[in-house]
Chain A
Amino acid sequence: MSSISHILIAGGGLAAQRCCETLRARGYDGSIAVACAEPVAPYDRPPLSKEWLAGEPVDPALRPPGWHAEHGVELLLGRAARRLDPHRRVLELDDGERLRYDRLVIATGSRPVALPGLEGFENVQPLRTLADAERLRGALAAGGSLAVVGAGLIGLEVAATARRLGLRVTVIEAGPAPMAAILGAEAGSRLARMHREEGVDVRVRTTVERALGSARVEALELVGGLRVPCDHVVVGVGVRPATAWLEGSGLDPAAVAVDELGRTSVAGVSAAGDAACRLDPLSGRQMPGAHWESAVRGGTAAACGLLGLPAPAPAIPSFWSDQYGVRLQCVGDPRAADGVAFAGDPAGRAFELTYMRGGRTAAVLLAGRPPAALRAARDRIDVQSHDHPRSIAA
């Protein structure tokens, strides 16, 4: 391994943090600098739609104050990456400063997709950053009615938290059911029923036709004519990698493909987390990272790559959610399924859905099940069931 003495990380989220931790844990003693667009030290996003949003006294910081100084990690906060010159190995920040590096890790995460008809209103927002969450927490504390556009993980968790706080909540989803594109119709209809039982007005197979109001949205008019009055609107219709700043660098700003050690096609440049498209060892497909665990594994893998260490063992993809005290856990890739088997109480909230593909278990979704059930589910996932055709982006 050639000598590396200066590692620069663009982005300061979970992947960046785990990359720093692994670098130090494995003995790297050169410098590390983290340029983070947000003005706060790395924090954990999952609580921002759940307990933190509800006003519980949880601290989202990933590490205690002082950790970065103690571990020789220089935090450049409030400073976003603007341009990359990989030939000179220089990263330019949005304040014009140019930073040299031996190795760069792109970890700038993702940004929420905006809906054109809902831009520019005072009371419409995404939920991605701590600043977004602070704004939403203030709006929810004021009570009233909330419209959630998009029934994905973020939208459903916000809806559940808002109901817990006593707001009137409407969820508007273009698909046939909440999360149906990922989890299928069976899981989607159970999620819809749970939210309706909790008092959420769940509207599926419809979209926002237009927003009524001037500076503030007063109501959303849906396709079909229904009007949804709202004091506040959260848009959660997906994310895209926040890598537009890579234009002209030689890397594809739409999708930064990396190998199992986080290395890109450009010398000296790695990527991790939502900003990277990792080669999924189960499917052979280049998959954008979009969940907490993929950011953890990507950050760790990138650090191993920088240090010339072997890649960590491949892991089965997984994500979790908490809604109304029910924990949802998904392991494997349910999108690969050709059949779904249900087990549990048909009328209840505790169940397991097993997603089959070619007679093998491709994924398991657990709702309200104990930890041992998740361990058993992981053991049932069959890697052979993920036999997608191999295609490499970039």
Chain B
Amino acid sequence: MSLIPEIDTSACVAHGDCVHVAPQAFRLDDVAVTIGVAPDELLIEAARACPSAAIVLIDSETGEEVRV
């Protein structure tokens, strides 16, 4: 499985935890933005670290949200 992270910009308040966990995949602006790829394990860790649950992970093959 390969995951694609999306940011729910209505929920994100730029805590920055995702950037700490996976700096290759996220950058902070007004809200977090995705900037690159990272291993699935790191993306899952980032999604779980986000206090706002603003990272939605999409399965690149099915296009479905992956609940982590």
Contacts and interface: CB of A to CB of B under 8 A. Distances in A.
B51 interface: yes
B14 A371 contact: no
Given A21-B30, A22-B30, A320-B51, A375 B8 contact: yes
A372 B67 contact: yes
A277 B31 CA distance: 24
A147 B14 CA distance: 34
Nearest to A294: B13
Contacts of A318: 52
Contact of A375 (B16, B20, B53): B53
A293 B68 contact: no
Contacts of B67: 370, 372
B13 to A, nearest CB: 5
Interface in A172-190: none
Indicate the size class of the contact surface on chain B.
20 to 34
A48 to B, nearest CB: 15
Contact of A378 (B11, B14, B50, B65): B11
Contacts of B15: 292
18 contacts: A25-B29, A58-B20, A292-B15, A293-B52, A296-B13, A313-B10, A320-B51, A327-B51, A329-B53, A370-B48, A370-B68, A371-B53, A371-B55, A372-B65, A372-B68, A375-B11, A375-B56, A378-B11
Given A296-B13, A297-B13, 16 more contacts: A44-B16, A58-B20, A293-B13, A296-B14, A313-B10, A371-B47, A371-B50, A371-B68, A372-B53, A372-B65, A372-B67, A373-B53, A375-B8, A375-B53, A375-B56, A378-B11
- Which 9 A/B pairs are nearest by Cβ-Cβ distance? A371-B53, A374-B53, A320-B51, A372-B67, A296-B13, A375-B53, A371-B47, A293-B13, A25-B30
Interface of B: 8, 10-11, 13-16, 20, 29-30, 47-48, 50-53, 55-56, 65, 67-68
